[in-house]
Amino acid sequence: MTDAASSQATTLAPEIEFWFDFGSNYSYLSVMRIEALAAARGVRIRWRPFLLGPVFRDLGFDNSPFVLQKQKGAYVWKDMERQCRKYGIALTRPTTFPRAALLAMRVALLGADQPWIAAYCRKIMQLNFADDRDIGSAEVVSEALDELGLPARDIIADAQSDANKLRLREQTEAAAAKGIFGAPTFFVGNEMFWGNDRLDDALEYCDSIASRG
């Protein structure tokens, strides 16, 4: 296939928007799975990091519903244990939940269209939900970037720029405007799918669109 034909095939490939937050436990499950699942179906991923906290506050919650509702929180962590066993994903319940990850999210936004975005997101999620590390710290974010062979100092400086900070606020506002109320959330065109357990449905919907084309 020529470069032009390859580029056209990529452009025509079905696309899934993946809205996530590093503090979200169910986003962890999706981050760890989505790249391989999408690649197997020839689906492109648009990585859309956003801040779930402001969305919750707009909905009247001052914390995660999993924290505010004791019974729901207890269920969710048992469910996470089951889901992680199912997918073969490591899990250590974080000592802080939800864990603030502003810098990590800013880096994710900066790298959303870069080849390293999937590996970076998996690394940050592993540090949070498998290693119980403080992914809100510059030290841990730098460690993640270093392990991927990336220029941590330069990337963090760019991520902390006023322009990138504004972009993350705007992306969070865009999430609310799209009707997003939790994470992970997936969009295929105008169709919204909420929750890790709807990732497969979203990818199947991509298939249906491709077959119509």
Torsion of CA 118, 33, 15, 185, to 10 degrees: -100
- DSSP class per residue in the chain: --HHHHHHHHHHS-EEEEEE-TT-HHHHHHHHHHHHHHHHHT-EEEEEE--HHHHHHHTT-SS-HHHHSHHHHHHHHHHHHHHHHHHT------SSSSPP-HHHHHHHHHTTTSTTHHHHHHHHHHHHHTS---TTSHHHHHHHHHHTT--HHHHHHHHTSHHHHHHHHHHHHHHHHTT--SSSEEEETTEEEESGGGHHHHHHHHHHHHHH-
Q: Alpha-carbon distance 28 to 8, whole Å? A: 32
For residue 5, the model assigns a pLDDT of 42
Q: Domains of the chain by range and CATH? A: 13-212 (3.40.30.10)
The whole-number pLDDT of residue 74 equals 84
pLDDT per residue of the chain (213 residues) written in tens, 0 to 9: 445 444 444 457 899 999 999 999 999 999 999 999 999 999 999 999 999 999 988 877 665 666 556 788 788 999 999 999 999 999 999 999 999 999 999 999 999 999 999 999 999 999 999 999 999 999 999 999 999 999 999 999 999 999 999 999 999 999 999 999 999 999 999 999 999 999 999 999 998 876 665
Amino acid at 45: I
What positions carry a catalytic annotation? 24
Q: Can you read off the two tokens belonging to residue 211? A: 């077959």
Query: Which pLDDT score is estimated for 11?
Result: 54
pTM over 0.85: yes
